[in-house]
Amino acid sequence: MLNQGIQLYLAVAVSVGGLALWWSLQSPQRQRPQFTTMDTIIERERAEVAQPAVTNNPTREVERQLRRDAISHARAPQARVPHTAVPQAAAGQPVDVTDATFSSVVLDNDLPVLVDFGADWCGACRMIEPVIHELAGELGGQAVVAQVDVDDNPQIAARYGIKALPTLMVFKDGQPVEKVVGAARKAELRARIDSHSAPSKTLL
């Protein structure tokens, strides 16, 4: 009777051990379900839309290379126009200057540069707008007329202490040489620009 009890116990133990082994082999697969969330689908669709479609690819590697080239070309900086050839004279329009282009257009320019610091919401800036455009058309190759939106380009405004709008400054050889706060007549601005065709003087 005792032997039968031991045999029964051993049979049950072997059965339980085998079941535990089978469950352990199956559980890793059950613990790693693969879910596709809406965020994943949206990200995939965005990536496909953002990347240019490439047809007739021999391999996926070629497609990846073409996409990398397209991204590099889009991020490449545009070639800058030489300082003395800023394309404003022909069109008669002032040059829009940003934080990134201020040095190349204004500070490194061989010509005197009149910079109009303003903003879209500034009523006085809109009043002086026709004067700025007239000067841009009249000066031609004698000087450059530029505009800076202080809201979009706060670094330049802070650098030169622009606290009132409009503020007009004349730069020569990379230095501010004239400053007018508020609306000004075209004749006054023209005289200030013309006075710096000779060697520059620094702002007092």
Closest CA to 160 of 141, 142, 138, 175: 175
Up-side HSE of residue 113: CA atoms within 13 Å toward CB?
A: 30
Token pair recorded at residue 123: 């009523």
Residue located via tokens 């979009």: 152
* Catalytic position from the list 95, 106, 111, 125: 125
Q: Is 122 assigned a catalytic role?
A: yes
* Catalytic position from the list 106, 113, 122, 170: 122
Contact between 128 and 82 under an 8 Å Cβ cutoff? The reply is no
Provide the terminal-to-terminal Cα distance of the chain, rounded to the nearest Å. Answer: 117
The residues that are catalytic are 122, 125
